[in-house]
Structure 1
Amino acid sequence: MFIILSAAIAPGLALFSYFYLRNQMSTEPRRTLFQAFIYGAFITFPIMFIQYVLQEEGVFASPFIANVLFSSTIEEFFKWLVIFVVIYGHVEFDDPYDGILYGASVSLGFATVENVLYLLSFGIDTAFMRAILPVSSHALYGVLMGYYFGKSKFAKNDKATEYLLLAFLAPLILHLIYNTILSFEDYWVYLVAPFMLFLWWLALNKVKLAHQHLVEHLIEQKKYN
């Protein structure tokens, strides 16, 4: 049991540490980030409950609708909702890079609990593959979501609402593509590798841009101090 739990939790902690340590300009309170992680963990259960009920009731006409369209949408919506309701207006969300950290925290909270439940059900043999695919992809969706939340919070024009919408739509589109690839049973393995490389490139590019926004934000703050 301990080995399974360790294997399930380790990828999420490693990915979060990576994005946390990349922020060299300021240090976000660990307590607030941990709370964001817990919020992400909690939403796993209502999401799974809704998916189970709708599946048992035969609401979905096809597996594609259930496993790709609905699954992607409900997971990204709940993550977006948690950040918007609990984190977006928080006093600790005080620079653009914070969005990256909070987005990753919420997403990894969800991905970690999902990973624990999956490994408890199917065994540790799938741990490595899940670490590099679903856990990593959730973290990267969270980075993208958090980037646009950061853009929205510190927007100086009328684009705040547009960025909020992008915070939901951008990770949703990527999640839909990922789940669609996995639905191709015969050749998904040939498509998922280039997609994950693209996802990492996109997320790291957003991290770099968030750092630039942070520097600009700090310079602007000094002007008024």
Structure 2
Amino acid sequence: MFILLSSAIAPGLALFSYFYLRNQMATEPRKTLFQSFLYGALITFPIMFIQFVLKEEGVFSQPFMANVVFSSTIEEFFKWIVIFAIIYGHIEFDDPYDGILYGASISLGFATVENVLYLLSFGIDTAFIRAMLPVTSHALFGVVMGYYFGKSKFAKNDHATEYLILAFIIPLLLHLAYNTILSFQNVWFYLVAPFMLFLWWLALRKVKLAHQHLVEHLIEQNKYN
């Protein structure tokens, strides 16, 4: 059991540590980040409950609608609403890169609990592929979502609302693409590798841009100090 739980939790911690250590300009309070991780973990249960009820009620007649469209939408919406309702206005969300950290933290909280439950059901044999695909993809969706939240909070113009919308739409489109690829039973393996490479490229580009915005933000702050 210890090995199984370690295998389920380790990928999320490793990914979060990577993005946390990428922030060389400031250190975000670990307590707040841990709380964000817990929020992400907690939303796993209402999401699974809603999915279970709708499945039992036969709301979706087509598996694609249930497993791709609805699943992607509800997961990204819950993550978005937690960041917007709890984190977005928090006093410790005080620079553009923080969005990256909070987005990744909440997403990895969700992905880690989902991973634990999956490995408990299907065994440790699936741990590697779970780490490489679902856990990693959720982390990268969270990075992209957090980037746009950071852009929104520190926007100097009237585009704040636009960035808030993009914080939901862009990760949703990525999630839809990912789940659609997995639905291609015979060829998904050949498609998912280039998609994950693209997802990593996109997320790291957002990380780089967030660093640039952070530097600009610090320079702007120093003008008034």
TM range (shorter): over 0.9
| 1:2-17 matches, cutoff 5 A | 2-17=2-17
| 1:103-142 matches, cutoff 5 A | 103-142=103-142
What amino acid is aligned across from residue 216 of structure 1 in structure 2? E
Q: Which residue does 1:174 correspond to in 2?
A: 174
TM-score (norm 2): 1.00
Q: How much has 1:91 moved relative to structure 2?
A: 0.1
Q: How much has 1:171 moved relative to structure 2?
A: 0.3
After superposition, give the CA deviation of every residue in 1:31-79 in whole Å (9 maximum; x if it has no partner).
0000000000000000000000000000002000000000000000000
- Determine if the alignment matches structure 1 residue 63 to structure 2 residue 63: yes
Q: How much has 1:26 moved relative to structure 2?
A: 0.2
Unpaired segments ≥5 residues, structure 2: none
- Distance across 1 between alignment mates of 2:61 and 2:89: 39
- Distance across 2 between alignment mates of 1:16 and 1:185: 30
TM-score (norm 1): 1.00
- Distance across 2 between alignment mates of 1:81 and 1:108: 15
Partner of 1:94, secondary structure, is coil
| 1:123-202 matches, cutoff 5 A | 123-202=123-202
| 1:14-33 matches, cutoff 5 A | 14-33=14-33
After superposition, give the CA deviation of every residue in 1:144-195 in whole Å (9 maximum; x if it has no partner).
0000000000001010000000000000000000000000000000000000
What amino acid is aligned across from residue 164 of structure 2 in structure 1? L
Partner of 1:96, secondary structure, is coil
Q: Which residue does 2:221 correspond to in 1?
A: 221
- Distance across 1 between alignment mates of 2:187 and 2:85: 40
- Distance across 1 between alignment mates of 2:111 and 2:213: 28
- Distance across 2 between alignment mates of 1:147 and 1:92: 16
After superposition, give the CA deviation of every residue in 1:90-140 in whole Å (9 maximum; x if it has no partner).
000000000000000000000000000000000000000000000000000
Q: Which residue does 2:94 correspond to in 1?
A: 94
Unpaired segments ≥5 residues, structure 1: none
- Distance across 1 between alignment mates of 2:47 and 2:202: 27
Moved over 4 A (4+): none
- Distance across 2 between alignment mates of 1:156 and 1:213: 12
* CA RMSD after TM alignment: 0.2
- Distance across 2 between alignment mates of 1:107 and 1:73: 14
- Distance across 1 between alignment mates of 2:115 and 2:4: 10
- Distance across 2 between alignment mates of 1:155 and 1:61: 43
- Distance across 2 between alignment mates of 1:12 and 1:191: 23
What amino acid is aligned across from residue 153 of structure 1 in structure 2? K
What amino acid is aligned across from residue 222 of structure 2 in structure 1? K
What amino acid is aligned across from residue 62 of structure 1 in structure 2? Q
Q: How much has 1:200 moved relative to structure 2?
A: 0.1
- Distance across 1 between alignment mates of 2:224 and 2:101: 26
What amino acid is aligned across from residue 123 of structure 1 in structure 2? G
- Determine if the alignment matches structure 1 residue 85 to structure 2 residue 85: yes
Q: How many residues align?
A: 225
- Distance across 1 between alignment mates of 2:88 and 2:176: 25
